[in-house]
Structure 1
């Protein structure tokens, strides 16, 4: 089992906090395992197991607790039997109708530290946000990063680079990573995709036309890293004789994003220092899904690498935007508690035109935040204060990317 230190180190400071810790992410990305690791760390720190109430709502043993009254009574009785702070860990809590009021009741009436997981980003909004009134901390959980994939395989040091092509092709879903031959990986990935679409999009959102939803989703996944809107998607599908209206596409995009299948990078005007409410980019949460859905004849290495870096940045806890400066684009402007930085991603800087494009947009930015170009070039060359990083080094060493 891979210790998911990338997330644990950000969650640990709040283990005993009254804030409700919310872990969201696409189905089967490892949220349940992470919750189990939190429980194990609490016990290892001296917390008695009878002060930890751990319920996985996907486990049929707890099926009766999907009723909010039964859920409340079960937990309330156990809290009353404990002394001191109680730790509540509820996995896939969205299966409980009206869980928001129950959760808020525990928080308001008892000394508890609470952790919730769900494969729907709506956990962060709507009724829960209203009930808890800002007393939440959210953490987006992703499938394995490349570094975690190497740990999963037990490969260390320079040998980790030999796993890169496999990761680029099949992504980081733990169930897929556990398979060794490509035929088995493909079967697991296809079934995982179907499960996500059925349970977290179609059924949860009561989609009237599943076929149309799948058409939109396949298009969005295959175009990861592209600038998309409801109108452009509707127009593209209409050109392919698959009619769907822009309002329907927007509804489906909200459902797809809520299921954490894709992440959104909003465009940011670097000169004007403001977020722009148009031309957003969408990135699929896992490269395996992208590779399975993209055109077999298209050369998409650029979009694949951009998606890879976007997901890595999200996994590290950064807020990620697409930078705009005049007519030029910066792949990512990222922000975190330590400051900001800019990141350009490219396959290789094989020509002067490519070098000018990747470095030039960063050179046009007149602030002093760190600037990086990340590529697969075997040799890196910095330029005018802009740091050139090898992609594999960037993925395996968090310390190379510094905010300022």
Structure 2
């Protein structure tokens, strides 16, 4: 539908407020996440010449770190008029080619495309976005293009297929537990220590584990989303914010737009069932009965929900860490335990579902490590049966590198974990607890809250090292 060009011009000007005074009004209100540094390194990288594709679920700060990058570019000496931002979920931009948007922006400021920066937010709303972006990268060697999107799996698939050598993917996960603790200033009750786990490892102890656990419970309920986690006293009815602004928009808007889904009510009900069962072992027969859907539809919906980064599927191995030929069971985790709050309300540590949310929260700290082969072990042979919640295997599935069993108890039983360790020549395993911290020769018992903090903290420290070196 044709419209007055001045409307488009006005929208572009409104979205690029820094053109006037070189400042973003709300820039100083937001703390920088630890993941920002790695993103900004890619934004300013001159060689190799690639577009940056920022991926992650809704409302975890992608737009904010784009704005932070824009402000830092300006502060580094880049002219504000050479930096352009377009939010592609804005209706006025619907079906507009990226090149046309760029030309409109350049004509407003009367600047050249060379040495300019272009930020495209929620790029998945543009049909064939990867073709448009690849073309821009190939034609314009002195300009920088940065895109973001909420459908991580779908974006990555298209990025790999069409953008080989032209795009660099950067994944921004929900707020990790260590970020939540550090940004809120709660880390004053932690003390660094060392444990022996495949060699000396940095760990933390806590002089008030009950207080630290309360922070962990708050994180489970609301901590994955920076806007809520860092401004909890200002957000009224955070459960509604999570439901309406995140799950409902993804189910009702993002997924239908990406995959042409018509029966969004059925998909919503399916997601509700998986969310309630987060951290449980499921099988196709049970899910089919509970959701009244066939196996083909189940696999399709799981693919959609993974693409929207609402869930993550964990696959099964046996007691020898070998894969099964026929996949009949699996685990599904919410990528962010706070999604449970949006659907079913906040949860207390005495709730019967709480241990599954604890496991979900700890598993969420591993989401940035997608290149690693994480699995769960489950076996049954005669009277012998058992399960280990999380293991890491080598790429060829020949070796088990570590194994963890999650418990919300101070009397955790490690019999099945030790059986698995013996079978796979593991010297030491980890079992989590509620408050107990004990370091034995063959077993580390550590509170879930401490373990979640350590996993996410070490990952971010490793990311910083990769940037430095």
TM range (shorter): 0.7 to 0.9
The 1:345/1:236 distance shift into structure 2, 3 A limit, reads same
Which residue is equivalent to 2:244?
Answer: 191
Question: Structure 1 residues 76 and 102, CA, compared in 2 at 3 Å: closer, same or farther?
Answer: farther
1:367–1:179 CA distance, 2 compared to 1 (3 A): closer
Q: Larger Cα Rg: Structure 1 or Structure 2?
A: 2
Aligned mates of 1:212, 1:176 — CA distance in 2: 29
**Contact 1:325/1:364, CA 8 A, preserved across alignment:** no
Matched, 1:248 2:297: yes
Q: Is the 8 Å Cα contact of residues 55 and 90 (structure 1) preserved in structure 2?
A: yes
Counterpart residue number, 1:33: 64
| Deviation by residue 1:147-196 (Cα, 9 ceiling, x = unmatched) | 33334544441187242222223342234333438971222223232222
CA distance in 2 between counterparts of 1:19 and 1:343 reads: 38
Q: 1:106 aligns with which of 136, 154, 158?
A: 136
Structure 1 residues 76, 197: CA separation in 2 closer, same or farther (over 3 Å shift)? same
Stretch of structure 1 that moved more, 294-303 or 89-98:
294-303
Cα deviation, 1:234-256, whole Å, max 9, x if unaligned, reads: 1223xxxxx33222222222221
Residues of 2 paired with 1:378 and 1:48: CA distance?
55
The answer to whether 1:122 aligns with 2:172 is no
Distance change >3 Å, CA 388–CA 379, structure 1 → 2:
closer
Q: Which SS does the other structure have where 2:414 is aligned? A: helix
Q: 1:202 to 1:102 in 2, by over 3 A?
A: closer
Tell me if structure 2 keeps the 8 A contact 1:349–1:355.
no
Contact 2:228–2:235, Cα closer than 8 Å, also in 1: no
Q: State the distance in 2 between where 1:275 and 1:25 align.
A: 30
Normalised by the length of structure 2, the TM-score is 0.70
Q: Residue 332 of structure 1 aligns with which residue?
A: 390
Q: Please tell me whether residue 53 in structure 1 is matched to residue 106 in structure 2.
A: no
Task: After superposition, give the CA deviation of every residue in 1:359-396 in whole Å (9 maximum; x if it has no partner).
Answer: 4433432267x753333333323342x44333222333
Q: 1:325 to 1:188 in 2, by over 3 A?
A: closer
Cα displacement (A) at 1:312: 1.0
CA distance in 2 between counterparts of 1:14 and 1:276 reads 40
With over 3 angstroms needed to count, the CA separation of the structure-2 counterparts of 1:30 and 1:113, relative to structure 1, is: same
Candidates 218, 225, 249, aligned match of 2:272: 218
Specify the SS of the correspondent of 1:228: strand
- The superposition leaves residues 209-231 of structure 1 with CA deviations (integer Å, 9 ceiling, x where unpaired) of 22221211100111112233554
Question: Gaps (5+ residues) in structure 1?
Answer: 238-242
CA distance 1:270–1:20, shift in 2 (3 Å)? farther
Call closer, same or farther: CA 1:263–1:307 in 2, change over 3 Å: same
Distance 1:219 1:83, change over 3 A: closer
Residue number among 126, 137, 147 corresponding to 2:178 in the alignment? 147
Structure 1 pair 380–349 and aligned structure 2 pair: CA distance change class (3 A): farther
Deviates more, 1:356-365 or 1:24-33: 356-365
8 Å CA contact retained: 1:228, 1:281: yes
User: Counterpart of 1:304?
Assistant: 357
Tell me how far apart the structure 1 counterparts of residues 337 and 135 of structure 2 sit (CA, whole Å): 40
Is 1:11 the counterpart of 2:39? The answer is yes
* CA–CA separation in structure 1 for the residues paired with 2:440 and 2:393: 22
Compute the displacement of 1:233 (Å).
1.3
- Distance apart, 1:334 and its partner CA: 4.4
**Which digits, 9 at most, give the CA deviation of each residue in 1:48-70, with x for residues without a partner?**
4444333222356xx33641162
1:392 to 2:449 alignment: yes
Q: Is the 8 A contact 1:139 1:317 kept in 2?
A: no
Where does residue 168 of structure 1 map in the other structure? Answer: 220
Tell me, in whole angstroms, the C-alpha distance in 1 between the residues paired with 2:163 and 2:268: 34
For the Cα contact (< 8 Å) 1:267–1:275, is it kept in 2?
yes
Once residues 286 and 360 of structure 1 are traced to their aligned partners in structure 2, the CA distance between those partners, rounded to angstroms, is 31
1:373 aligns with 431
Instruction: Report what 2:286 is aligned to.
Output: 232
TM-superposed CA distance for 1:399, in Å, is 5.6
1:93 and 2:123 correspond? yes
SS in 2 for 1:314: coil
Q: 1:105 to 1:375 in 2, by over 3 A?
A: same
Contact 1:322–1:333 at 8 Å: present in 2 too? Answer: yes
Secondary structure, counterpart of 1:377 in structure 2: coil
Contact 2:410 2:433 in 1 (8 A): no
Unaligned runs of 5+ in 2: 1-29, 190-207, 381-385, 463-469
Q: CA RMSD in A?
A: 3.8
- Structure 1 residues 102 and 43: CA distance shift in structure 2, 3 A: same
- Which residue is 1:240 aligned to? none
Q: For 2:439, what is the secondary structure of its paired residue?
A: coil
